[in-house]
Structure 1
Amino acid sequence: MSKTILKIGITGGIGSGKSTVAKVFQILGIPTYSADDRAKWLMSNDPELRGQILESFGSESFLPSGELNRPFLAKTVFSNPEKVAKINSLVHPAVGRDFEIWSQHQTSPYVLKEAALIFETGGETKLDAVINVSAPLKIRVTRVLMRDKNRSEEQVNQIINQQLPDEIKNEKATFVIKNGPNKLIIPQVLAIHKKLISMDK
């Protein structure tokens, strides 16, 4: 009987550097599922999810070409907490199903699910462990403003305020990687990788 693959979440607030840390795990040969990228793909391509979005947000949710109307949805959803909750209640289960199917086709000792929101959605209950990538707030804001030229500092702070504070995520996480000044991430990744390889399901 084949051994069950461990499912490990990797999360972190915007600008924490979770994608950079995930890339280090990928270099070590660990398959990584990007929940945010797959969510975008599923919203345009998964028939069940498309139907739910149409029903909840109307025909303007999709362009005549069939592509998701991102500007319309962003404008409709972003400033309305109820609509944010509604879109999340549709997208997160679809991503969860997609991740389970993807995981079944992997052969490594563990896989990573990279997602901005894990603890916020209760996603940790379906994972064997969670890594939180943590960084000081000022550094996170600076990183995002340098990376996303179209975002204002106010918008970045709005996103940060919708996510759980680092202190809470660090408490909930199985492992914490500190990605601040004078913190080397590779030794931290290698130490966690070694522990995960030796973990028994």
Structure 2
Amino acid sequence: MHASTHKAMKNWVLGLTGGIGCGKSAVSAMFEKLAITVVDADIIARQVVKPHSPGLAAISEHFGAQVLNPDGSLNRAQLREIIFADTAQKTWLNNLLHPLIREKTLTDLHSANSAYVVLVAPLLFENGLEQYCDRTLVIDVPVEIQLKRTIARDNTSEQQARSIIAAQMSREDKRHRADDVIDNNCPLHLVEQDIMQLHQNYLQLTAKVN
């Protein structure tokens, strides 16, 4: 339990995470169907660099017009190329974006009006976001399933998919650190049953807090 670290948070927060290709989107959609607000760190990361945002203005000022598309949006491929080649530039970018992402995430978690709120973050533990959560849930599938789904979805090579998985926290570490674990390598209706059971548990936990 991590409740003591975020006294200012009015909402009870469930942190939802899992490796690439584990099915976080499908599971978060199940919570949305139960009228639970979902805050997605990946979506927020895109919002803080959208056209006309302070984040994008700072990036284009630092890196120049080469990181912008003709329509004024961020050229992610170009930016990725620059920061992969230069650790100092990657550090600069992280120092700019992480506080912006964190601030927007906390604002969205705080303003949610559902019984509790779900924070979806692939790097929940790696980036220390579990400090804002009352409970954490890991979506778990075998690595071979992760590979298959990632290659099919992102049209990427097996080598690239393996390197992405290798860069993330291991399944074992995630399972060990999480309060709850969902096995997503089974038929959808069974996953939905598990989510319903967890949902009832979370409602009881939030009732105690409130």
TM range (shorter): 0.7 to 0.9
* 1:44/1:66 contact within 8 Å kept: no
Determine helix, strand or coil for the equivalent of 2:130: helix
- 1:130 has 2:136 as partner: yes
Q: Helix, strand or coil for the counterpart of 1:9?
A: strand
Shift of 1:124: 0.9
CA contact (8 A) 1:30 1:110 kept: yes
Q: In angstroms, what is the RMSD of aligned CA positions?
A: 2.3
SS in 2 for 1:130: strand
Q: Distance in 2 between matches of 1:100 and 1:117?
A: 16
Q: 1:84 to 1:198 in 2, by over 3 A?
A: farther
CA distance in structure 2 between the partners assigned to 1:161 and 1:84 by the alignment: 20
SS at match of 1:44: coil
What is the number of equivalent residue pairs in this alignment? Answer: 198
1:191 corresponds in structure 2 to 197
* 1:44 Cα deviation from its structure 2 partner: 2.1
Within-5 A mapping of 1:36-55: 36-45=42-51, 47-54=53-60
For residues 60 and 95 of structure 2, what CA distance do their matches in structure 1 show? Answer: 14
Structure-2-length-normalised TM-score: 0.83
Closer, same or farther: CA 56–7 of 1 in aligned 2, 3 Å: farther
1:180 aligned partner, one-letter code: N
Instruction: Give the % identical residues.
Output: 30
Query: Are 1:121 and 2:130 counterparts?
Result: no
Q: Secondary structure at the match of 1:121?
A: coil
Map residues 3-152 of structure 1 onto 2, 5 A cutoff: 4-45=10-51, 47-54=53-60, 56-78=62-84, 83-149=89-155, 151-152=156-157
Unaligned runs of 5+ in 2: 1-8
- Unaligned stretches of 5+ in structure 1? none
What's the CA shift for 1:92? 2.7
Partner-residue secondary structure (3-state), 1:131: strand
CA distance in 2, matches of 1:13, 1:80: 26
Distance 1:113 1:193 in 2: 14
Match of 2:178 in 1: 173
Runs of 4+ in 1 over 3 A off after TM superposition: 45-48, 54-59, 78-89
**Distance (Å, rounded) in 2 between the aligned partners of 1:136 and 1:57:** 40
